[in-house]
Protein backbone atom coordinates (compact mmCIF):
# COMPACT_ATOMS: atom_id res chain seq x y z
CA UNK A 1 0.00 0.00 0.00
CA UNK A 2 1.20 3.50 -0.73
CA UNK A 3 0.20 6.44 1.44
CA UNK A 4 0.62 9.99 0.24
CA UNK A 5 1.31 12.51 2.97
CA UNK A 6 1.10 16.18 2.02
CA UNK A 7 3.86 18.18 3.70
CA UNK A 8 4.48 21.89 4.01
CA UNK A 9 7.70 22.97 2.24
CA UNK A 10 9.42 23.62 5.58
CA UNK A 11 8.39 20.16 6.83
CA UNK A 12 9.74 18.49 3.72
CA UNK A 13 13.02 20.43 3.97
CA UNK A 14 13.41 19.43 7.62
CA UNK A 15 12.67 15.78 6.80
CA UNK A 16 15.23 15.75 3.97
CA UNK A 17 17.86 17.45 6.15
CA UNK A 18 17.30 15.00 9.01
CA UNK A 19 17.50 12.01 6.67
CA UNK A 20 20.77 13.34 5.16
CA UNK A 21 22.20 13.95 8.63
CA UNK A 22 21.42 10.33 9.56
CA UNK A 23 22.72 9.05 6.22
CA UNK A 24 19.46 7.41 5.20
CA UNK A 25 16.75 8.09 2.64
CA UNK A 26 13.61 9.98 3.60
CA UNK A 27 11.64 6.77 2.99
CA UNK A 28 13.84 4.91 5.48
CA UNK A 29 13.53 7.71 8.03
CA UNK A 30 9.73 7.74 7.77
CA UNK A 31 9.64 3.91 7.90
CA UNK A 32 11.69 3.95 11.15
CA UNK A 33 9.32 6.46 12.71
CA UNK A 34 6.29 4.46 11.60
CA UNK A 35 7.78 1.23 12.97
CA UNK A 36 8.19 2.89 16.39
CA UNK A 37 4.61 4.18 16.34
CA UNK A 38 3.21 0.77 15.39
CA UNK A 39 5.37 -1.04 17.98
CA UNK A 40 4.02 1.21 20.76
CA UNK A 41 0.41 1.06 19.57
CA UNK A 42 -1.98 -1.21 21.47
CA UNK A 43 -3.20 -4.28 19.65
CA UNK A 44 -6.58 -3.67 18.10
CA UNK A 45 -9.25 -6.32 18.45
CA UNK A 46 -9.38 -8.44 15.37
CA UNK A 47 -12.57 -8.96 13.44
CA UNK A 48 -14.37 -12.10 14.48
CA UNK A 49 -14.00 -14.68 11.77
CA UNK A 50 -17.30 -15.86 10.45
CA UNK A 51 -17.79 -19.14 8.72
CA UNK A 52 -19.43 -18.55 5.36
CA UNK A 53 -23.00 -19.82 5.33
CA UNK A 54 -25.23 -20.69 2.42
CA UNK A 55 -27.70 -17.92 1.66
CA UNK A 56 -30.67 -20.22 2.24
CA UNK A 57 -29.53 -20.75 5.85
CA UNK A 58 -29.34 -17.00 6.38
CA UNK A 59 -32.81 -16.53 4.89
CA UNK A 60 -34.27 -19.30 7.03
CA UNK A 61 -32.75 -17.76 10.17
CA UNK A 62 -34.16 -14.35 9.25
CA UNK A 63 -37.62 -15.79 8.63
CA UNK A 64 -37.98 -17.81 11.87
CA UNK A 65 -40.01 -15.08 13.59
CA UNK A 66 -42.43 -14.52 10.70
CA UNK A 67 -45.89 -15.84 11.65
CA UNK A 68 -47.38 -18.53 9.38
CA UNK A 69 -50.36 -16.32 8.51
CA UNK A 70 -47.94 -13.77 7.02
CA UNK A 71 -46.36 -16.49 4.87
CA UNK A 72 -49.84 -17.40 3.66
CA UNK A 73 -50.23 -13.86 2.26
CA UNK A 74 -47.26 -14.28 -0.08
CA UNK A 75 -48.17 -14.93 -3.74
CA UNK A 76 -47.59 -18.43 -5.07
CA UNK A 77 -46.06 -17.02 -8.27
CA UNK A 78 -43.68 -14.61 -6.53
CA UNK A 79 -40.55 -16.03 -8.12
CA UNK A 80 -41.81 -16.27 -11.69
CA UNK A 81 -43.64 -12.92 -11.52
CA UNK A 82 -41.14 -10.92 -9.48
CA UNK A 83 -41.11 -8.08 -12.04
CA UNK A 84 -44.84 -7.68 -11.48
CA UNK A 85 -44.61 -7.62 -7.69
CA UNK A 86 -41.47 -5.50 -7.48
CA UNK A 87 -41.89 -3.06 -10.36
CA UNK A 88 -45.57 -3.25 -11.34
CA UNK A 89 -44.92 -4.80 -14.76
CA UNK A 90 -47.81 -6.78 -16.25
CA UNK A 91 -47.85 -10.45 -15.32
CA UNK A 92 -46.41 -12.75 -17.97
CA UNK A 93 -49.57 -14.83 -18.30
CA UNK A 94 -51.80 -11.82 -18.97
pLDDT digit string, tens, across residues 67-80: 989 989 988 888 89
C-alpha to C-alpha distance for 51 and 61, rounded to whole angstroms: 15
Question: 41 pLDDT band (50/70/90 cuts)?
Answer: confident
The arithmetic mean of pLDDT across residues 12-38, rounded, is 94
- Contact status, residue 29 vs residue 15, Cβ threshold 8 Å: yes
Whole-model pTM? 0.45
4-21 pLDDT, tens per residue? Answer: 989 999 999 999 999 999
Helices (H) and strands (E) in the chain, counts: 5, 0
Domain boundaries, the chain: 9-40, 55-87
Question: 94 pLDDT band (50/70/90 cuts)?
Answer: low
Q: Number of C-alpha atoms within 13 angstroms, CB side, residue 65?
A: 1
Amino acid sequence: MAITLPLQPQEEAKLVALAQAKGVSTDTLVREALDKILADAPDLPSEPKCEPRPIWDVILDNMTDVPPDEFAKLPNDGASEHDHYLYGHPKRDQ
